[in-house]
């Protein structure tokens, strides 16, 4: 089994209890249990709680750093529990390291300084998804670009945060970081935010977010990210005119794509095809 997410750990535990031998390979020791408890639902909702409880007199950076530290303690507790829950079973072995297919029923794993090959009648791919960063010039290579995973783990509050993407993920982070004290700008390519929802719902949401101090720019086609001293300039077109916004951090909230790029799926006989990402506004590879 490749990947320690919810599906993988549930299947591993069930099969292990039936007396079958299970090897579960997870590439990161920070991802036991998958996205939700480590970098998804749990930390983001915990940050919502801490951000909402910040009072105007509370120093922004100090409050944020303390909040992230508390959230990381919770995710570590859950991560440790997930690991011990499986690795403690006699029939289940957990190996931490990247897995690569070398044949339809065999993966090679590098764990620490050792190399293993694992062969099984059935190999379940449970690697989940990862942030999809679009091919905007300068975006991927900028040291100021951050994914959702990096945002929930950093203890430094960005003074100016620009978010590319006005879907549910981007707007959740916009609300969180505005409450923590960041100056937040959201750039959405579509004519409105929440493009998959009804117009009236999107309009109410935008009104609430704007009233809280978030600058939302719709119809914004991001063209380039330019690095500078201590920050980046995000260049975008709107209504035929070019604009730019300065940022200490640029969050690409443009959807997620399956985390299968490094598995060498062709060696297993698995074919992939190009489709739209979960977000819908940017192409991704599934």
| Rg of the Cα atoms in the chain | 21
Same domain, 79 and 20: yes
Domain presence at residue 33: yes
Q: Tell me: the pLDDT tens digits for 86-120?
A: 999 999 999 999 999 999 999 999 998 899 999 99
Domain presence at residue 140: no
> What is the β-pairing status of strands 283-285 and 274-276?
antiparallel
Q: Tell me: the pLDDT tens digits for 240-249?
A: 999 999 999 9
Same domain, 182 and 116: no
The reported pLDDT for the residue numbered 271 is 86
Domain count of the fold of the chain:
2
What global pTM score does this model have?
A: 0.90
**Which CATH number characterizes residue 241's domain?**
3.50.50.60
Same domain, 149 and 193: yes
**Residues spanned by the domain of 163:** 145-252
Domain presence at residue 203: yes
> DSSP labels for 37-58?
HHHSHHHHHHHHHHHHT--TTS
């Amino acid at each position: 089994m490749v990947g320690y997410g919810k599906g993988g750990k549930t299947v591993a535990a069930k099969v292990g209890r039936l007396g079958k031998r299970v090897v579960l390979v997870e590439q990161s020791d920070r991802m036991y249990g998958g996205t939700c408890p480590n970098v998804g639902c749990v930390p983001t909702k915990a940050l919502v709680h801490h951000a909402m409880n910040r009072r105007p007199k509370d120093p922004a950076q100090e409050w944020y750093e303390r909040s992230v530290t508390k959230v990381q303690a919770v995710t570590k507790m859950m991560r440790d529990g997930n690991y011990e829950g499986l690795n403690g079973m006699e029939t289940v072995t957990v190996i931490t390291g990247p897995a690569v297919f070398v044949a339809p029923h065999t993966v090679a794993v590098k764990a620490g300084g050792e190399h293993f090959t694992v062969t099984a009648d059935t190999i379940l791919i449970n690697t989940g998804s990862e942030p999809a960063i679009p091919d905007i010039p300068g975006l991927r290579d900028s040291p100021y670009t951050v994914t959702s995973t990096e945002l929930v783990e950093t203890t430094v509050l960005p003074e100016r945060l620009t978010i590319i993407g006005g879907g549910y993920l981007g707007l959740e982070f916009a609300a969180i970081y505005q409450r923590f004290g960041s100056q937040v700008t959201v750039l959405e390519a579509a004519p409105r935010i929440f493009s998959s929802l009804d117009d009236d719902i999107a309009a109410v949401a935008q009104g609430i977010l704007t009233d809280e101090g978030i600058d939302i720019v719709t119809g914004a086609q991001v063209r380039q990210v330019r690095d500078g001293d201590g920050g980046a300039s995000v260049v975008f077109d709107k209504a035929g005119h070019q604009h730019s916004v300065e940022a200490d951090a640029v969050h690409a909230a443009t959807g997620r794509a399956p985390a299968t790029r490094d598995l060498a799926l062709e060696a297993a006989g698995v074919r992939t095809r190009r489709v739209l990402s979960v977000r819908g506004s940017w192409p991704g590879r599934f």
